Amino acid sequence: MSQSSVRLEIQHLSRAFGGVPVVSDVSLTIAAGQVTCLLGPSGCGKSTTLRMIAGVERPDSGSIRIDGRPVFDARTNLPPEARSVGLIFQDFALFPHLTVAQNVAFGLKTDREAKARRVDELLERVNLPGFGPKHPHQLSGGEQQRVALARALAPRPKVMLMDEPFSGLDNRLRDGIRDTTLEVLKEEGAAVLLVTHEPDEALRMGDEIALMRGGHIVQTGAPYNVYNAPVDRAAAAFFSDINVIRGVSRGALTETPFGSFLTPGHADGGTVEIVIRPQHLKIDLDRAGRGPSPTPMDGTAARGTVIRARFLGRESLVELALDEGGQRLTASVPGVFLPKPGTVLWLMIRRDRCFVFPHPA
Partner 1 sequence: MSLATRWARFRKSEGGSGLALVSPTAIYAILLLAAPLATILLFSVLTDGYLVVEPVFTFGNYIETWTNRIYRSVMMRSLGVSVAVTVLTVLLAYPVAYFVSFHVQPSKKSLWLFLITIPFWTSYLIRVFLWKVILGYNGVINSGLMATGIIDEPLTAISYNVQAFVVTLAHAYAPFAILPIYVVLEKIDRSLLEAGQDLGESKFRTFLRVTLPLSVPGIAAAVLIVFIPTIGDYVTPNLIGGGKIPMIANMIEVLMLVRDNKPLGAAIAVSAMAIVTAVSLLFLFTIRKYLRGQK
Q: Which residues bind ligand ATP (CB under 6 A)?
A: 17, 22, 40, 42-48, 197
Residue nearer to partner 1 on the CB measure, 28 or 54: 54
Residue nearer to partner 1 on the CB measure, 7 or 277: 7
Question: Interaction with Mg ion in 9-68: which residues (CB under 5 A)?
Answer: 47
Q: Determine the Cα–Cα distance for residues 245 and 357; give it in Å rounded to an integer.
A: 11
Residue 135 interacting partner from ligand ATP, Mg ion, partner 1, none (CB closer than 5 to 8 Å by kind): partner 1
Per-residue contact flags (x/-) with partner 1 for residues 83 to 112, judged by CB under 8 A: --xxx-x-x-x-xxx--------xx-x---
Q: How many residues bind partner 1 (CB under 8 A)?
A: 25
Residue 145 interacting partner from Mg ion, partner 1, ligand ATP, none (CB closer than 5 to 8 Å by kind): none
For the bound state, the minimum distance from the C-beta of residue 166 to ligand ATP, rounded and expressed in Å, comes to 13
Closest CA to 7 of 207, 223, 225, 226: 207
Residue 68 interacting partner from partner 1, Mg ion, ligand ATP, none (CB closer than 5 to 8 Å by kind): none
Residue nearer to Mg ion on the CB measure, 202 or 306: 202
Please report the beta strands in the chain, taking only residues with DSSP state E, as ranges in sequence order. Answer: 6-17, 20-31, 35-39, 61-66, 69-72, 85-88, 159-163, 191-196, 208-213, 216-221, 243-250, 253-256, 259-262, 271-276, 281-285, 302-311, 315-322, 328-334, 344-349, 355-358
Contact between 168 and partner 1 (CB under 8 A)?
no
Question: Interaction with partner 1 in 330-359: which residues (CB under 8 A)?
Answer: none
Contact between 254 and Mg ion (CB under 5 A)?
no
For the bound state, the minimum distance from the C-beta of residue 268 to partner 1, rounded and expressed in Å, comes to 55
Residue nearer to Mg ion on the CB measure, 51 or 115: 51
CA 15 to chain centre: 22
Starting at the edge strand found earlier in the chain, the sheet holding 315-322 runs 281-285, 344-349, 302-311, 315-322, 328-334
Q: Determine the Cα–Cα distance for residues 177 and 132; give it in Å rounded to an integer.
A: 19
Residue nearer to partner 1 on the CB measure, 95 or 224: 95
Residue 359 burial class via C-beta count within 10 angstroms: exposed 0-12, middle 13-18, buried 19 and up:
middle
Return phi, psi of residue 242, to 5°.
-135, 155
Q: Determine the Cα–Cα distance for residues 33 and 185; give it in Å rounded to an integer.
A: 7
For residue 340, how many other CB atoms are within 10 A of its CB? 7
Binding site for partner 1 (CB under 8 A): 54-56, 79-81, 85-87, 89, 91, 93, 95-97, 106-107, 109, 135-137, 151-152, 154-155
